[in-house]
Amino acid sequence: SKHSGYLIGNQCVDFQKQDGVTEIEEAIMANTVERRLNDLLLQSEATVSVDRAPIYVSAVSNFTNFLDLSRKTLRSLEVGIPVVILSRSQTSQHSYRWVQLLVDLCADAGIHSGMITFASCSLDDIKGITLSCKESTGNLYATCSRALAAEIKSQYPKTVASTGGPNT
């Protein structure tokens, strides 16, 4: 709640959208439910195994999808899963500024900076990173076209992609 204005302002600059308030409200409601589910997961860890291999979150230049994927980042960090945020080199600065803010907030909370990695590179470089590390990494979360999702999944089977809307 402290940084909503910052996110909405970045949205206006990068995406030329004006209704960030509604999207932030929806994200806050989803965050509440997801945090409660994470609390239950952590309480059940004696009987449930949590894979803490680093995950990939594919940053996008659409604010609604960004909020969805940022929730994947936050939920993973909450349970101790390192996150690699993948940004295409031609996309907006919103994701980068958000990662900078997130790293600072994590440092304030005593979370090691090594839990978050940001990579801005071409699609071919992203494919190279994911393929070269696939034996030691977890899911890749993406919001993209069906064609791109199929291509990514054919090379990285642990892909969870939303192709019809913002909710991965």
Tokens 């019809």: give the residue.
164
Closest to 60 (Cα-Cα) out of 126, 3, 130, 109: 126
pLDDT at position 64 is: 57
Q: Percent of the chain scored above 90 by pLDDT?
A: 32
Laid out side by side, the sheet with 83-88 consists of: 116-121, 83-88, 55-58, 140-143, 159-162
pLDDT at position 90 is: 62
Residue 15's pLDDT band (boundaries 50, 70, 90)? low
What average pLDDT does the chain have? 83
pLDDT at position 24 is: 75
Residue 168's pLDDT band (boundaries 50, 70, 90)? very low
> Which residue has better confidence, 36 or 97?
36
Q: Is the pLDDT of residue 26 over 90?
A: no
State the alpha helices, DSSP H only, in 79-122. Answer: 94-108
> Which residue has better confidence, 146 or 12?
146
* pLDDT tens digits, 151-167: 888 989 999 887 765 54
* pLDDT tens digits, 33-92: 888 998 999 999 889 898 999 999 987 656 556 677 788 898 899 999 999 998 876 666
> Which residue has better confidence, 26 or 50?
50
